[in-house]
Chains A and B, each alone.
Chain A
Amino acid sequence: MSQSTDPASSFLKDQVGIDENLHAGIFVALQTVYGKQIEVSHLKSFGIEGLKALAESVKLEQRDRPRSNHRPFKMIHFRIPHHKSAFDLPWRLGDSILDVAKSPDGALLLGEYMEGTCGGQKSCCTCHVYLDEKLLSLVPPPDKGELDMLDLAYEPNMESRLGCQIRLTPDLLQQIDNDSPVTVTIPADVNNVWT
């Protein structure tokens, strides 16, 4: 779907700052009000704050709705050094690393290592992982909120990220080699707030 040439999509992305993967959901919602074709004028009359709020609820809806398994994916090689185990799991387009841990296959293997207590809202550090160098260089750097939570994590280092913030985008999908899978390492413990 080439939404990049669509003026409404560009408006949402550039003027309002809403991520591309939420555009489809927003258009569907607005179609109930404005009919099939969503124009920039429709978006403007909805208001910037209104569009942002709509984006948030689309985000939540996407998070809660079961995702199709027939999406393109890359393999992640998970390592758990302190339990001497390693295994591979599919990382599907649109999912975060925490989503992988919560998927039916992932839950069996990773469930107890990545609780995701706050549900992916950067309000805990139970999805703390160490990324390999390659992946670390490809993903956008952490923002202050994520860094604040990493401060509370168990033995954070320069490769530390919150799994809920590392998402497989269409761009990232292109940039990951099929030959060298991504490696994600699970820290030896969870939550060591200094006390």
Chain B
Amino acid sequence: MSALLCRVSRLRLQPSVRLSSFIYSLKFDLTHVPSRKTLLVNRKCFSSYKIAIVGSGPAGCYSAKYLKSSLDKQQHRAQIDVIERLPTPFGLVRYGVAPDHPEVKNVQNDFAALFEGTDESMETVNVRFLGNVKVGWDVTVTELRSIYDVVLLAYGCESDRRLILPGSHLPQILSAREFVAWYNGHPDFVHVGEQVSKALQVTAADTVESVRNAHVVVIGHGNVALDCARILAKGGQNLHDTDIASHTFPVIGGGISRISVIGRRGPIQGAFTIKEIRELVRLQREGYGTSFRVSPQELKAGMNESSLQEMEGLAGRPKQRICDLLQKAAASASETSECEKRVDLRFFLKPLRFETKEDDPSRLSAVICEKTALRGEPGRQKAIGTGEYESLYADLVLVSIGYKGTALRGVEPFFDEEIGIVRNRNGKVDHSNDFECGLYVAGWLKRGPSGIIGTNIPDAKDTVASIMQDLQVTKPRVQRAGDIDSILAERKIQVVVWEDYKRLDDYEQTHKRSDNQPREKVVSIKLQLEAALKFY
């Protein structure tokens, strides 16, 4: 063995070559020692591509998964670093999926397998998790592009589509995205609780079980809007055995008495999916003390000619089923007994302005809406104002009209400010050769904030195909301006690697308020880092 080692040391090998893996590759072939010429020719097999993925949500993780398998198949060596701003991975799977949808979070197990104990000398493609590293602050996109071969942006949408109307600055009007992040225990949104509490006028007399006598209006017809309505209806206590953040209990208590979900168009045009509608319809039957109402007149108005055409055929079947479900719900409304809480799913209402209380102009009192009607061809119908108005009493408004992407520094030249996505072709962003590093995008930042977790599967495959195409004609770069570990160490960044996250994960699963909870989330970055980086 030592004879072989001497041979190896006389060769000029690239710094990135792992001596151990080199020896390993010879391990099973000691009888045939390659000649020096052979070793030099084989050199390019040993240098690794370095790939950075910014964001560890579904887009980042599926991209890492498919990149790894594509690189493995072609026997390229690579190091994939998944860089995440928060100490915790998985993005919206942790902070977006509703607490009463735990099975949707199962995908975390698939993603965890990516980062689990890969023996670096055995694997040709190694995937690392680097948490608590803020790209744009701790290290810039430009710097990443000077040390990696590929940078893939998968950091999703951190902002909202804005509803700019008179009164929309009032503190009782929040974005649904912030509200969801709050009930899911996102460390950056803990302050939302106080805002919600004040809007609902929660007092010391309100217990964690009592229903809050208040009106909440949710503006939007997507699944996020329905999630908000459902969580508000169920209340914190009913979700005690889920991973909902404990700080929701004193605020939303036993649930909210009146919740209206409003949208401009009709039931056929709604972006929600049937499973979430069914959950609202079933609330009463399942013992949450909440009735579900939809107006027969509004349903009828929703069945105009163009909408009926939108329901035709196999493609229209999902819409047809939603329609049938809502009609059944409307018909059986008279049979349901009165409940303390109620959710109304309203259609054809376009918000015009937010009115304040006469005696207190800092408090919201109502949402003034114009009734609409549908005009246009199937698939392109628009909601036109009818000149009739409706005033909806409201203590709290959640605006759920879409998330929106933002540009990190270095990304602005490629960013479409209006839509909020990074301009790309099949995931490829930068077609210039300004850097020796390709720039790519995947997920919501690429195609806009729509779809479900699984929608990232074809999305990631598309971007990975573009990356692989480019890597066919690119060798790993020779000049790198450094490596990420040294840069972060120099800047004293406390990186949370996978083993550290597992400590935090374990902590959350063992310090629970209820045995039936999957976990009790730690809601402050400081405490998360303490649990993660503790050395025993």
A residues lining the B interface (CB < 8 Å)? 112, 115, 117-119, 121, 123-126, 144-145, 147-149, 151-152, 156-158, 189-195
In the complex, per-residue mask of B172-211: 1 if CB is within 8 Å of any chain A CB, else 0: 0000000000000000000000000000000000000000
Q: How far does the Cβ of B285 sit from chain A's closest Cβ, in whole Å?
A: 13
Q: Is B361 an interface residue (CB 8 A)?
A: no
Question: How far is A131 from B498 in the complex, measured between Cα atoms in Å?
Answer: 40
- Contact between chains at A148 and B274 (CB < 8 Å): yes
The interface on chain B, measured as residues whose beta carbon lies within 8 A of the other chain's beta carbons, has a size of: 28
Which residues of chain A are near B451, meaning CB under 8 Å? Answer: 191, 193, 195
Whether a CB of chain A sits under 8 angstroms from the CB of B66 is: yes
For B93, the closest partner residue in chain A by CB is A117
Residues of B within 8 A of A126 (CB): 454, 457
A176 to B102, CA, bound (A): 36
Q: Report yes or no: B103 in contact with A121, Cβ–Cβ below 8 A.
A: yes
Q: Which one of B109, B453, B458, B461 lies within 8 Å of A124 (CB-CB)? A: B453
Name the one of B101, B109, B273, B461 contacting A151, with C-beta atoms under 8 angstroms: B273
Assembled-state Cα–Cα distance A191/B462 (Å): 14
Most buried by B among A112, A144, A148, A190: A148
Q: Contact check, B109 vs A148: say whether CB atoms are below 8 A apart.
A: no
Contact partners of B101 in chain A: CB under 8 A:
123
Give the CA-CA distance A130 to B97 in the complex, in Å: 29
- For residue B107, CB closer than 8 A to chain A, the reply is yes
B106 touches A194 (CB 8 A): no
**Bound complex: CA A175 to CA B317 (Å):** 31
Give the CA-CA distance A190 to B460 in the complex, in Å: 12
Please indicate the chain A residues that have their CB under 8 angstroms from the CB of B454 in the complex. Answer: 115, 117, 124-126, 190-191
B453 closest partner in A (C-beta)? A117
User: Are B275's CB and A193's CB within 8 A?
Assistant: no
State in angstroms the CA–CA spacing of A185 and B249 once bound together: 48
Q: Known: A115-B110, A124-B452, A190-B458. Is A151-B321 also a contact (CB below 8 A)?
A: yes
Q: Which residue of A lies closest to B65 (CB)?
A: A112
Question: By the criterion CB–CB under 8 Å, are B104 and A123 in contact?
Answer: yes
Q: Which residue of B lies closest to A119 (CB)?
A: B106
A148 to B321 Cα, complex, angstroms: 8
Q: How far is the CB of B209 from chain A (nearest CB, A)?
A: 23
Q: Give B315's nearest chain A residue, CB to CB.
A: A194
Residue B455 is within 8 A (CB to CB) of chain A in the complex? yes
A157 and B314 contacting across the interface, CB-CB below 8 Å? yes
* In contact, A152 and B318 (Cβ under 8 angstroms): yes
Known: A124-B454, A148-B273. A118 touches B107 (CB 8 A): yes
Interface residues of B in 77-121 (CB under 8 A from A): 101, 103-104, 106-107, 109-110
Whether the pair A123, B103 counts as a contact (CB closer than 8 A) is yes
- Complex CA gap A194/B180 in Å reads 23
**Among A145, A149, A157, A190, contact of B457 (Cβ-Cβ < 8 Å):** A190
**A–B pairs, 17, beta carbons within 8 Å:** A117-B104, A117-B106, A117-B107, A118-B103, A118-B104, A119-B109, A123-B106, A124-B104, A124-B452, A125-B454, A147-B321, A148-B274, A148-B275, A149-B275, A190-B454, A191-B457, A193-B451
User: Is A191's CB under 8 angstroms from B278's CB?
Assistant: no
Give A106 to B345 CA distance when docked, in angstroms.
44
Kindly provide the distance from the CB of A119 to the nearest chain B CB, expressed in whole angstroms: 4
Docked Cα-Cα span, A151 to B106, in Å, equals 21
Q: How far is the CB of B372 from chain A (nearest CB, A)?
A: 21
